[in-house]
Amino acid sequence: MNSNQNPFNGKFPQDVTKKPGENAIFIVYGLKESSETLDKVKDVCANFSALIRSMRNRYPDMKFSCTMGFGADAWKRLFPEQGTPKELETFKEIKGSKFIAVSTPGDILFHIRCTKMGLCHEFASIIDEKLRGVVYSIDETHGFRYRDGRAIIGFVDGTENPGVDANPYHFGVISDDAPEFVGGSYVFVQKYIHDMVAWNALPVEEQEKVIGRHKYDDVELSDEEKPKNAHNAVTNIGDDLKIIRDNMPWANTSKGEYGTYFIAYASTFTTTRQMLENMFIGNPVGNTDHLLDFSTPLTGTLFFVPSYDLLNKLGD
């Protein structure tokens, strides 16, 4: 994007509209109270774009990208003079009568994507070394592209993302906030685990009614075929309210653990939250997402992803 043309006051967003890619590492850190914490985090902010440039320069065909986001507590603690983006707050858990979208801690998120997992690892190691002593790991999940971009439950994931006939920047990047937050994004993560035994016991036609699409060719069920509690029925809240999903499957096969790392970038967190409320509480109340009968979130954390311009400033 050319800085003279972009609609975000010339700010450069991080890679919040990129495709999920082949491999990903998701790291959620907590911050330690230490006299070095601020300096080390600022150093990563100041050098973040240069570190990414170096990876892309060394491996131009590897589709390398990384985004960095801050949780509400960390943001206020580290950068009190900055003010807070409108919708940045600690995620409030969503409790329906049957399902709960839990809220779990997280100060800094790194979402590293690359064709080669080894390069994701290399970048994660560089960041980890820079932050050594001032952070502790809350979660690290390694995600992989499964077959033709399918969730581990066997359905193609990401089809309705804005891309072909809708502008992903419009839905993924903040344009309506104080000037320094324009060009940023809200990213929400949830690490889900699936009950694959129960899921695999469902006939394919029943699975298709859970997702709202055909399994083999990803074609959407007709309105007559699609139940009200299908996943794509409850999460579709209109063409004006979309998010950018970059989910990846994860698995520990020998332990029988299979999951989805849900990650969504949005220009307004209320959009993501509305979808979550529809899933976990139901709209109307009780019409909860049938996918939740097979999927449980282990985490749930909201982060703000500043533009590159703001990241550089934070690093000063």
Residues in touch with ligand HEM (CB under 6 A): 151, 153, 155-160, 190, 192, 211, 213, 231-232, 235-236, 245, 260, 262, 264, 272, 275-276, 291, 295
248 close to 144: Cβ distance less than 8 angstroms: yes
Q: Give whichever of 7 and 158 is closer to ligand HEM, judged by the CB atom.
A: 158
Give the three-class secondary structure for 257: strand
- For ligand HEM, the closer of residues 211 and 302 by Cβ is 211
In the complex, minimum distance from the CB of residue 295 to ligand HEM, in angstroms, rounded to a whole number: 4
Phi, psi for 223 (deg, rounded to 5): -60, -35
Find out whether 133 and 34 touch, Cβ atoms under 8 Å.
yes
Looking at the Cβ atoms of 14 and 278, the one nearer to ligand HEM is 278
Residue 183 backbone class (left: φ over 0; alpha: ψ -120 to 50; beta: rest): left
- Kindly state the smallest distance separating residue 187's Cβ from ligand HEM, in Å: 12
Minimum CB separation of residue 1 from ligand HEM in Å reads: 25
Checking 272-276 for CB contacts under 8 A at 24+ apart, the result is: 272/186, 272/188, 272/243, 273/94, 274/237, 274/241, 275/234, 275/235, 275/237, 275/243, 276/94, 276/101
316 is catalytic: no
Q: What are the structure tokens assigned to 66, written together? A: 């990384």
* 192/265 with CB nearer ligand HEM: 192
SS3 for 117-169, per residue? HHHHHHHHHHHHHHCCCCEEEEEEEEEECECCCECCCCCECCCCCCCCCCCHH
Which is nearer to ligand HEM, 135 or 281 (by Cβ)?
281
Quick count: other Cβ atoms within 10 Å of Cβ 245?
Answer: 20
CB of 94 to ligand HEM, least distance (A): 10
Rg of the chain over all Cα atoms, to the nearest angstrom: 19
Helices and strands of the chain, counted as H and E runs: 9, 12
Give the residue closest to ligand HEM by C-beta: 160
Do you know the residue count of the chain? Answer: 316
Shortest distance, position 148 Cβ to ligand HEM, whole Å: 12
Nearer to ligand HEM, 229 or 260 (CB): 260
How many other C-beta atoms can be found within 10 angstroms of the C-beta atom of residue 213?
22
Annotated catalytic residue within 157, 246, 289, 309: 157
> Residue 110 Cβ, how far from ligand HEM at the closest point, in Å?
20
What is the distance between the alpha carbons of residues 240 and 286, in angstroms, rounded to a whole number?
Answer: 25
Catalytic residue positions, numbered? 157
